[in-house]
Homo-oligomer: A and B are copies of this chain.
Amino acid sequence: MTEGPSYKERKVITIGVVSELTGLSERQIRYYEERKLVYPERSPKGNRKYSFADVELLIDIANKREEGVQTFEIRQDMIRAEKRKEKKMRKQLLRGEINARFGIQKER
């Protein structure tokens, strides 16, 4: 273990490979970006680059689409999930701070 944003998060996969990996057409993949469901990075000359995490997300999206869920709804769900996570983080942070002051004290 050495690197930073581990293998799963590094944006290194081109759209053609993502298409193979997900079974989605390039058109679909680009459209889901337009609908703000995925955020690939861009190479210097403008080529999209995705992470394994993006690939997995796209597979989830593909499944929901098959169930007839609209991109708008998928996006709403993602935003909600994101907010819940943030809330949880804040709670954790707060608890940490309280512990630091009033919790297990180091003797001095």
A interface list, Cβ under 8 A from B: 6-8, 10, 12-14, 16-17, 20-21, 43, 49, 52
Contact = CB atoms under 8 A, between A and B. Distances in A.
Contacts of A12: 12-13, 17, 21
Contact of A8 (B7, B16, B43): B7
Copies of the polypeptide in the assembly: 2
Contacts of A43: 16-17, 20
Contact of A10 (B6, B49, B52): B52
The 4 closest A-B pairs by CB, nearest first: A7-B7, A7-B52, A12-B13, A12-B17
B52 A17 contact: no
- With most chain B CB atoms within 10 A of its CB, the pick from A6, A17, A21, A43 is A17
